[in-house]
Amino acid sequence: MADPRLRPVIEDDRAFLVELYASVREQELAHVPWDAATRAAFIEHQFAAQDAHYREHYPGATLDVIEVDGERVGRLYVHRGTSDIRIMDIALAPAFRARGIGTGLLRSLMAEAEEGELKLSIHVEQNNPARRLYERLGFEPAGEHGVYVLMERAYVKTAS
């Protein structure tokens, strides 16, 4: 498998991104007694609301599709501020999870944050299995916001 490549989101990515969003919400919605049409409408509405929120509250953020061998496999949305790098969202299609892709992308962002002497942060749902990955990579809980935990990896200046 080739290394993942990031490229900006384009309009033609919308169907893929909605499907990816649905895969992320699948477990949460598994027990909701909706027919397929109602579930699809809900997913579409929630995706649009999230997309609008990101664009409004994180101007200038990079909204990228993750590709491997030319295939769309996920998304990585990042906002680079003056004091921190905020991972707004990282998501991979089910077939590409637990293959080191996300870890590699996170390590790249960790290196970027360290180089810029910046904090790296992400919000994660309390029970999301990805939280364990973030903790293994040195992120620590820094606050709670409803069902979300703010995880931060602070820049620590070492003596030279």
Please tell me the distance from the alpha carbon of residue 21 to that of residue 47, in angstroms, as a whole number: 7
Average pLDDT in the 97-116 region? 92
Over residues 15-55, the pLDDT tens digits come to: 999 999 999 888 778 888 889 899 999 999 999 999 999 99
Please tell me the distance from the alpha carbon of residue 23 to that of residue 21, in angstroms, as a whole number: 5
pLDDT at 147: 87
Average pLDDT in the 88-114 region? 93
Question: pTM of the entire structure?
Answer: 0.89
Residue among 127, 124, 128 at smallest CA distance from 145: 124
Task: Count the Cβ atoms, other than its own, within 10 Å of residue 9.
Answer: 17
CATH superfamily of 5-153: Gcn5-related N-acetyltransferase (GNAT) (3.40.630.30)
Domain boundaries, the chain: 5-153
Mean pLDDT over the full length of the chain: 91
